Structure 1
């Protein structure tokens, strides 16, 4: 018999429902990308929807440290209810790519503390924590560039991206590409840095998809925008 979740469900109920959805094949695929869960995300979202918004339950779910359970916690938490310290704590504890990505997208980007948190994280010595800071920087490049020194960011990327650990390198590359796409005055410098460093130049890209190699990514997005003008 399937576990039915309601707004009154407990942590044990949520974990029982998630266990019923566990798919070993999906877990194997996710593990290749650094994630340790095997639940279809559409089904996980449906479970969260049944729980409705509930910050207290979200805190309890987060405390389990289980990836799938934490994804549910992110979906039912209240983004505006987090203090700066709480945002920082959750992000430091978000070690897997999917949990970190969802928390950034669904919670931090909706918070009034975004920029202050970005400044704290980007300078962290832990590359996973710093990668969150760089992902927020890529967001600010698009949404709030006036709070950034884009030239200094490009210099830092040029000096450090080549040797950065994978997660951090990916986030820095995202920032590099967004600067080149969004800011014409820095596009030439961004393209030159990408060509010089060759980060992700050989990344396997499926047909019909755009390579994450910054010069290809930048030029393709600029071309698309020009075609739509």
Structure 2
């Protein structure tokens, strides 16, 4: 890339940050801040910007480097999962900051990256519970799509021992793994439900009408019911 092109990328990133700033809505920011997110951009509008810009790895990297959460979300949408090295993805995850950036990075980029399994192993036992939650999230995806090689009873044992006292984001990720094991492995379903029942994690989580509770026993039963009704 020439110096002129580098300058053009920086100029475009600056223009996009100004556009995102103009989309800031104080009411959206107030709601987002209750969940730990530090931006106020409507995500439907942000996605429209990404659709217009199309995939652009160089611009994505420049936006990510700004450190701004809305710019990072846009960067993720402009990225190719294959454009980042394992080391880059590890650094990005640790610098993700807000929950929404963390979730989008894991689900839209890392989960589709050729480095996903290596990173799952690195993050799974990380001392930082937020980083560890990414390892558990990737493990949940393997439970759903490719359980071969996973020690599911061992995972249930770890969940049973640690989920109740885990930090919020790690607890959420472990609970999802518990539910997915119960949904997708009939032989372990009752054990998964029993663990969820005894620990009571997310039992009282406020759930909107027509949505499924994240409380594992209810989640498992509902997903199995839907599967059997097809």
Same fold (TM over 0.5): yes
Q: CA deviation at 1:49?
A: 2.0
Q: CA deviation at 1:56?
A: 1.5
Corresponding position: 1:56 with 2:58: yes
SS in 2 for 1:162: helix
Q: CA-to-partner distance for each residue in 1:160-208, whole Å, 9 max, x for gaps?
A: 0000010100000000000000111111110111011010111111222
SS in 1 for 2:131: helix
Q: Name the residue aligned to 1:34.
A: 36
Does the 8 Å contact 1:121/1:133 carry over to 2? yes
Does the 8 Å contact 1:7/1:51 carry over to 2? no
Q: Name the residue aligned to 1:3.
A: none
Corresponding position: 1:123 with 2:122: no
Q: CA deviation at 1:9?
A: 5.5
Q: CA deviation at 1:147?
A: 3.0
Q: Name the residue aligned to 1:188.
A: 190
Q: Name the residue aligned to 1:90.
A: 92
Does the 8 Å contact 1:7/1:50 carry over to 2? no
Q: CA deviation at 1:50?
A: 2.2
**Which segments of 5 or more consecutive residues in structure 2 lack a partner in the other structure?**
1-7
Corresponding position: 1:21 with 2:51: no
Q: CA deviation at 1:51?
A: 2.0
Please show how residues 192-207 of structure 1 align to structure 2 within 5 Å.
Answer: 192-207=194-209
Q: Name the residue aligned to 2:170.
A: 168
Distance 1:95 1:180 in 2: 31
Q: CA deviation at 1:40?
A: 0.8
SS in 1 for 2:75: helix
Q: CA deviation at 1:53?
A: 1.5
Q: CA deviation at 1:43?
A: 0.8
What is the aligned length? 223
Q: CA-to-partner distance for each residue in 1:129-169, whole Å, 9 max, x for gaps?
A: 11111111111110111131111100000000000010100
Q: 2:154 aligns with which of 131, 138, 152?
A: 152
Does the 8 Å contact 1:8/1:51 carry over to 2? no
Runs of 4+ in 1 over 3 A off after TM superposition: 6-9
Please show how residues 71-82 of structure 1 align to structure 2 within 5 Å.
Answer: 71-82=73-84
Distance 2:85 2:210 in 1: 42
Distance 1:8 1:88 in 2: 24
SS in 2 for 1:53: coil
Does the 8 Å contact 2:182/2:193 carry over to 1? yes
